[in-house]
């Protein structure tokens, strides 16, 4: 990817008039109906809205997992639509971290091996990726669980392993899609407290989809989607008012 999106310059994320349509004629569905969003480095943004509001479609486009029907998506000033499929894959691998509701850990491998996985795809030497993975597990408070398999970890610990894996490549942004959906309220609070601390101390940009206002309250900014449009954009308190 030319013009590597590191350092100062344009906003991290810009969406300009983004649309995403499915079907035709009377069956046309406007999943996104003209979205304008700017997200800067270091923000912690919660994306909210009812089912079918467009928030997941938006996240898929932000993560370069889907393409818009119209409009322009810029990542550090780079027009993502102009990138080849290989370049988009590189964008995801080098600059974006993903955390999902279902953890997506490999069941028969240790926490350490799970965190090492994206570094294997990068071709990092075993010694170096081992060191990096241990650093990430220490960061999420699980250095002493490095050799445990997912079955030997609580749900909250498994999600923290998933976060460590997402952070192993030093991404510019962490996209979290309902990251506490499979956790009870106590474990959910633990994960959100950790994400907020990560954002505060390390300045990692986080964009999180959630349908729960108490989780969105951990963010600094909330985007509220309705019928494919952003209808509210402000602090959690402002959006809740």
**The CATH number of the domain where 197 resides is what?**
3.40.50.300
Which CA distances in Å does 58 have to 31, 45, 91, 208? 9, 13, 17, 11
**pLDDT above 50 for 5:** no
Residue 227 lies in a domain: yes
**For range 2-25, the mean pLDDT:** 80
Residue 15 lies in a domain: no
Domain total of the chain: 1
**For range 47-65, the mean pLDDT:** 92
Q: What is the pTM of this model?
A: 0.88
Of all residues in the chain, what percent carry a pLDDT higher than 70? 97
Q: Which two tokens stand for residue 114?
A: 């799970």
Distance CA 232, CA 115 (A): 36
Residue 77 lies in a domain: no
Of all residues in the chain, what percent carry a pLDDT higher than 90? 68
pLDDT tens digits, residue range 131-157?
999 999 998 889 999 999 999 999 889
Q: What residue spans of the chain are helical by DSSP H?
A: 55-62, 85-95, 111-121, 126-139, 155-167, 185-202, 213-216, 236-240
Residue 28 lies in a domain: no
What is the chain's mean pLDDT, rounded? 90
Closest CA to 110 of 60, 146, 81, 59: 146
**How many Å separate Cα 130 from the centre of its chain?**
24
pLDDT band at 212 (very low <50, low <70, confident <90, very high): confident
List the strands of the sheet with 13-22, edge to edge. 29-39, 13-22, 70-75, 78-79
- How many C-beta neighbours within 10 Å does residue 40 have? 13
Instruction: Quote the domain boundaries for residue 115.
Output: 41-65+85-240
Residue 233 lies in a domain: yes
pLDDT band at 181 (very low <50, low <70, confident <90, very high): confident
Taking only Cα atoms into account, the Rg of the chain, rounded to an integer number of angstroms, comes to 18
**How many Å separate Cα 53 from the centre of its chain?**
18
Most distant CA atoms of the chain, gap in Å: 58
* Distant-in-sequence, close-in-space partners of 128: CB < 8 Å, separation ≥ 6: 119
Write down the pLDDT at residue 137.
94
**pLDDT above 70 for 15:** yes
Residue 164 lies in a domain: yes
pLDDT tens digits, residue range 228-237?
999 999 999 9
pLDDT band at 8 (very low <50, low <70, confident <90, very high): low
Residue 27 lies in a domain: no
Residue 166 lies in a domain: yes
Write down the pLDDT at residue 100.
85
Q: Which two tokens stand for residue 172?
A: 């510019």
* Distant-in-sequence, close-in-space partners of 150: CB < 8 Å, separation ≥ 6: 103, 105, 106, 107, 111, 114, 158, 161
**How many Å separate Cα 8 from the centre of its chain?**
21
């Amino acid at each position: 990817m030319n013009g590597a999106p590191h350092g100062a310059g344009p906003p991290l994320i810009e969406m300009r008039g983004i649309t995403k349509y499915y079907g035709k004629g009377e069956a046309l569905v406007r999943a996104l109906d003209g979205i304008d969003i700017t997200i800067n480095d270091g923000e912690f943004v919660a994306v909210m809205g009812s089912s079918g509001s467009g928030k997941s479609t938006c996240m898929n486009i932000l993560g370069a997992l889907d393409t818009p029907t119209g409009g322009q998506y810029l990542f550090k000033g780079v027009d993502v639509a102009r990138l080849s499929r290989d370049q988009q894959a590189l964008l995801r691998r080098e600059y974006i971290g993903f955390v999902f509701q279902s953890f997506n850990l490999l069941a028969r491998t240790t926490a350490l091996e799970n965190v090492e996985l994206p570094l294997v795809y990068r071709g990092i030497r075993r010694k170096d990726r081992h060191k990096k993975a241990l650093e990430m597990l220490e960061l999420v408070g699980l250095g002493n669980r490095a050799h445990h398999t997912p079955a030997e970890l609580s749900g909250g610990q498994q999600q923290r392993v998933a976060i460590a894996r997402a952070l192993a490549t030093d991404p510019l942004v962490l996209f979290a899609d309902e990251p506490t959906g499979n956790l009870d309220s106590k474990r959910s609070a633990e994960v959100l407290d950790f994400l907020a601390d990560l954002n505060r101390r390390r300045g990692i940009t986080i964009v999180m989809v959630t349908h729960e206002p108490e989780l969105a309250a951990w963010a600094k900014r909330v985007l509220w989607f309705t019928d494919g449009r952003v209808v509210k954009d402000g602090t959690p308190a402002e959006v809740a008012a």
